[in-house]
Homo-oligomer: A and B are copies of this chain.
């Protein structure tokens, strides 16, 4: 049995989960990995705050981050503080001090992930972040091990549990966006300021990370043209349902030769598609690839224990690399391709069009695939049309709205 000494930054929901699971599952971890983990130091903002987790006797608390990242005994640092600047500083310093680093900080990763990975590689330490995307689903490890020999052509994710919970409630209980949001907040599934989740920003950050692993191409999440779920109306959900679809907040990246087409936003998806059945705070990632065809991975998208387990799986990988003198060379994220980024909306596809008000149906002649209407709205499903045709259809009408239909893209 060999010993690996670790330090933890932050003891909030995820940090507490890590400290807890590390103790609860110690016997199995030691038996299967032959490694004994010692949690030496934990840095917290407030030393005397009451804690939900009891730490091992060997663990000391500190309010100085430096006491963790500069401790020469500590071999692996786990960052669970969140925030961007403080976390970036701590991670860079830890890497310079030759410590492997594990984080779930998707906001930081979406901005600086590739640079931090290169820095870690140059310092011969590991930089791992399985927990940053889709909580407990081991999607990054699957992409970088089992799918590393395959060629991925499309990744589609339901990767924000808050948004999916709200959409599920709006669909199943026919409540408004506002009511569903309040219910999610009451259950602790949505924060007081839900902007990142409902505006699709969190989803875009995660898609950027997924794209690095699936296509070797990091995306700038700010340039993705992200759409949120906060403008969705009951009429859109109802007509989607009548046409045989469910609305989900999807993250999509689709490769065609050397072009990478991406989209983040609410999308109609056939009710019999596996992704349409992912309800509540669950996450799912569907992969299309040359060898496997279609594979789907589903599991909890957030929560202390699932996220902590992903961090622990990184911890075991980092420990093995330390013991094998093989840090920084792991094939976790060393795939690079030169792909030209595009918006998926450039491809011809089918749309749900909704128009509000009296005699609201667009006047333009079009071969509607399906139509429905209610009090004060009309809704229709277009055939596959180009982006120009879409613009012509909806222009000069501020009472009209549209949503794309999944996988109707025509090349």
Interface centre among A130, A149, A324 (most CB of B within 10 A): A149
Contact partner, A292, options B150, B151, B289, B305, Cβ 8 Å: B305
The answer to whether A309 and B291 touch across the interface, beta carbons within 8 angstroms, is: yes
Report Cα–Cα, A151/B28, bound state, in Å: 8
Q: Is the CB of A114 closer than 8 A to any CB of chain B? A: no
Q: Is the CB of A290 closer than 8 A to any CB of chain B? A: yes
Contact partner, A305, options B148, B290, B294, B295, Cβ 8 Å: B290
The 4 closest A-B pairs by CB, nearest first: A295-B299, A138-B146, A291-B309, A149-B312
Q: List 10 A-B contacts (CB under 8 A).
A: A21-B149, A130-B146, A138-B142, A147-B309, A290-B305, A291-B312, A295-B300, A296-B296, A297-B297, A324-B326
Identity of the chain B residue whose Cβ is nearest the Cβ of A293 in the assembled complex:
B300
The answer to whether B141 and A145 touch across the interface, beta carbons within 8 angstroms, is: yes
Report Cα–Cα, A316/B335, bound state, in Å: 14
Q: Tell me the chain A residues, 126-143 only, with Cβ under 8 Å from chain B.
A: 130, 136-138, 141-142
Q: Is the CB of A187 closer than 8 A to any CB of chain B? A: no
B-side contacts of A146, CB under 8 Å: 130, 138, 141, 309-310, 313
Report Cα–Cα, A294/B32, bound state, in Å: 22
Report Cα–Cα, A298/B313, bound state, in Å: 21
Contact partner, A291, options B298, B306, B331, Cβ 8 Å: B306
Contact partner, A309, options B29, B150, B216, Cβ 8 Å: B150
Report Cα–Cα, A334/B335, bound state, in Å: 30
Q: Is the CB of A46 closer than 8 A to any CB of chain B? A: no
B-side contacts of A141, CB under 8 Å: 141-142, 145-146
Chain A contact patch, size range: 35 or more
Given the interface contacts A32-B148, A299-B295, A336-B31, does A320 sit within 8 Å of B331 by beta carbon?
Answer: yes
Closest chain B CB from A6 CB (angstroms): 13
B-side contacts of A303, CB under 8 Å: 293
Given the interface contacts A151-B28, A320-B331, does A300 sit within 8 Å of B305 by beta carbon?
Answer: no
The answer to whether B149 and A316 touch across the interface, beta carbons within 8 angstroms, is: yes
Given the interface contacts A136-B291, A145-B317, A326-B326, does A32 sit within 8 Å of B331 by beta carbon?
Answer: yes
Q: Is the CB of A33 closer than 8 A to any CB of chain B? A: yes
Cβ proximity bits A340-362 to B, threshold 8 Å, 1 near / 0 not? 00000000000000000000000
